[in-house]
Structure 1
């Protein structure tokens, strides 16, 4: 706990770093080649306003952005000093209540503790969420929530999306639109299997199904090239490839369909 207290306020200009340990410099390994990243970084590519306030009661408000997407919100809300603000996320509602069973162990919750009362602007950092709905509690309840309290900052690897499918059938158009949104939400530096629950892994089986369609929808050559190189780096001496890349110690066997090389 003492170490945590010493780090409080490290992002401010008045922070005293006297208790920080110095960085350690190491020489470059001549066998390692450094080169620029092959694809664009994760960026905020779109700002989405609230479409509807679903409910406002018992000191909490639920916002609906009208689209399942990935990123973080930017909040402009009234707060009271020392009163914790809690922000929760969900992809769906069940009888106007948050449905988060599909998040499994992912809490998908942010907290903000204001140091002073009044209107504040807050954007979560070092995280991202897959969501459509957002619940905010802990704000100054003497104020009435409005739709301009929140804006969704949509994030993904900044690939050039050029999908332009159009037909005379509304359902086909919606299907095409959903596929593009699925690509945007799961291209988060690596091809994710899901951006909201407690996995968020680069499953190779999911990727090999989607790699070809994605080529028709966006300039993703650099994105896939970088990830394929990661596959080669993770390949074992016996030739087997883990089920997901990058590999974390969870499932340690390989199988056809998931552990296969993408072509």
Structure 2
């Protein structure tokens, strides 16, 4: 017997590229956090020496510490702070913003509207309208704007990106062997999981950096860097997958995490699938 299903039409956005997520990030954060607030009573925030602007739109989780001198400003959008979060003194967070559990935000950080920070991240410097996935470190000074950063990424001190061209035009990106017009005026970079950068790395507007790259350039990196690429001033080559797996496992162990067999398969599969990208880029 055939089952009958009811079909309901809904309105939804089609996400075609990662930068589409960046484009709708502020709006989606506002919708999601506001919906949460409407369905859950908000307790009064009690943190000595902390300034809450429009406190009814600010959620703070269990055992989170917000040090004196911090400003949480929800005037232009709600703010969600998860559990076990530590926000050091004299930091500013502007809504809409989402900070997940066990995040550490260092002193004097500026977290602007649209910041979406995953679990167990360490954050410092200036961030605006950027999605950062779990277990990523951006601990030091440096601007990160209108970007999407994967998990287990480590950005060296002073790493920055541009999110606006000098001609104020639509940002164009290189994706493999194609140039794509994003249709967006503000767009920083897309960076895959397990990528690392050296100190003072400078990315241009609309950069795409793949999975498990190691970027050690003193000059400006290319706008497109294929997955498993090793870039230094004297050498450009494919990153040895065995070596990168060892590095990834060491980094995960520092967070008491162990890479699974499926995790290793993901590494090896991505390495194989992106071989053509590396060859095209080298040519």
Q: Same fold (TM over 0.5)?
A: no
> How would you bin the TM-score normalised by the shorter chain?
under 0.3
TM-score by length of 2: 0.27
TM-score by length of 1: 0.28
Please say which structure displays the higher CA radius of gyration. Answer: 1
